[in-house]
């Protein structure tokens, strides 16, 4: 798997292995992520994509390999919002001790006016926005998206992806996301890596030219999508 020569490296993963008992999940994963670079991981269900994200965020220990992520501030957008049910939106965001201005983040994520709402009073899309706001309030160097939009309808998904894109343009944090949605992958990526089934290896790395990523529905965008389908089904 070739790597794109790029800017300053913010994360370097070498020979990463993970097994759960006798069950090998990740095998020799090598990933290099530049500062401000966006990486999307595609692969079959159960291949260990989420396990990789959990290792990065410190929730799991690797069985082998090296991860170089010195003092990296990580914001994690979970698949389910994981909000404290008895705390309102503002308190849920403040819970993670962010240094960023609360008002600004609420405005940018269209949450103004919902500060005092409890999670159960919000729609799924709004809850995911709070989930994202909580990740961004800490001013992360790396934003992790773990199938963050899987349960949202297309319109809301596109709106949130657009919001993330705008925030990324302004702040240039790095992003690693895991998804099964190819459109989402092309929209959110500078490069896409495809993993095999378990025990998973990274079999291919595809750079996404910026002009493709913003032209949803264009012929180049659609071609990229169909190429991805072929590559995923290659095994």
Partner 1 sequence: MKVSLPGKQSPFFKGEINSLSSKTWRIVKCRTKAFLNALQIAVGITLVILIWQGLALTVNKNIIPPPWETLRLFWVEMFSANILFATWQTFSKVVLALLFTMIVGILLGLLLGLSDSLYEICRPIIMLIQAVPVISWLSLVIFAWGIGWKGPVYIASISLLPISILTTVSGVRNLDKNLLEMARVYRVTRQKILKDIYIGTLMPFIVAILDVSIGQAWKVILVTEYLCGGKGLGVEILMARMNIDFPRVWAVTLIAVSLGIIMEKSVKFVLWKISRRWMFV
Q: Interface with partner 1 includes 116 (CB under 8 A)?
A: no
Binding range to partner 1, per CB under 8 A, among 35-43, 53-61, 109-117, 184-192: 53-61
* Count, residues near partner 1 per rule CB under 8 A: 20
Strands 9-20 and 64-68, sheet pairing: antiparallel
Closer to partner 1 by Cβ: residue 78 or 221: 78
CB nearer partner 1, residue 74 or residue 182 = 74
In the list 14, 15, 20, 58, the residue contacting partner 1 (rule: CB under 8 A) is 58
Nearest-approach distance from CB 30 to partner 1, in angstroms: 24
Residue 82 CB partners (closer than 8 Å, separation 6+): 131
Binding test (CB under 8 A) with partner 1, winner from 21, 61, 113, 120:
120
Site string for partner 1, 134-173 (x = CB under 8 A): x---x-----------------------------------
Q: Rounded to whole angstroms, how far apart are CA atoms 62 and 82?
A: 24
What is the rounded distance in angstroms from the CA atom of residue 131 to the CA atom of residue 60? Answer: 21
Residue 75: count of CB within 10 angstroms of its CB: 24
The 59-98 contact track toward partner 1, x by CB under 8 A, reads x--------------x-x-x-x-x-xxxx---x---xxx-
With beta carbons less than 8 A apart as the criterion, state whether 87 and 79 touch.
Answer: no
Given 72, 118, 156, 205, the residue binding partner 1 (CB under 8 A): 118
Of 20 and 197, the one with the shorter C-beta distance to partner 1 is 20
Nearest to 117 by CA among 162, 85, 82: 85
Supply the minimum distance, in Å, between the C-beta of residue 26 and partner 1: 19
d(Cα 39, Cα 195) in Å, to the nearest integer? 13
Taking the chain, what is the end-to-end CA distance rounded to the nearest angstrom? 16
Toward partner 1, which CB reaches closer, 66 or 84? 84
3-state helix/strand/coil string of 52-65: HHHHHCCCCCCCEE
**Rounded to whole angstroms, how far apart are CA atoms 61 and 29?**
14
- Least Cβ distance, residue 144 to partner 1 (angstroms): 9
> How far, in Å, CA of 117 to CA of 57, rounded?
28
Positions that interact with partner 1 (CB under 8 A): 57-59, 74, 76, 78, 80, 82, 84-87, 91, 95-97, 118, 120, 134, 138
């Amino acid at each position: 798997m070739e790597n794109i020569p790029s800017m300053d490296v913010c994360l370097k993963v070498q020979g990463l292995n993970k097994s759960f008992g006798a069950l090998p999940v990740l095998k020799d994963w090598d990933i290099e992520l530049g500062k401000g670079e966006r990486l999307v991981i595609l692969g079959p269900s159960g291949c260990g994509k989420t396990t990789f994200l959990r290792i990065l965020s410190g929730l799991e220990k690797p069985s082998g390999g090296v991860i170089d992520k010195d003092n990296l501030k990580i914001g994690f957008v979970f698949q389910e919002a994981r909000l404290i049910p008895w705390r309102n939106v503002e308190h849920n965001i403040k819970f993670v001790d962010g240094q960023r201005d609360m008002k600004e983040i609420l405005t940018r994520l269209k949450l103004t006016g919902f500060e005092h709402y409890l999670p159960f009073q919000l729609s799924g899309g709004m809850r995911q926005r709070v989930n994202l706001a909580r990740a961004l309030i800490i001013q992360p160097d790396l934003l992790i998206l773990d199938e963050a939009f899987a349960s949202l309808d297309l319109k809301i998904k596109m709106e949130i992806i657009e919001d993330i894109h705008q925030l990324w343009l302004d702040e240039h944090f790095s992003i690693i996301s895991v998804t099964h949605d190819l459109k989402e992958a092309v929209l959110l990526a500078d490069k896409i890596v495809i993993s095999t089934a378990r025990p998973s290896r990274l079999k291919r790395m595809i750079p996404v030219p910026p002009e493709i990523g913003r032209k949803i529905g264009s012929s180049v965008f659609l071609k990229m999508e169909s190429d991805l389908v072929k590559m995923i089904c290659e095994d």
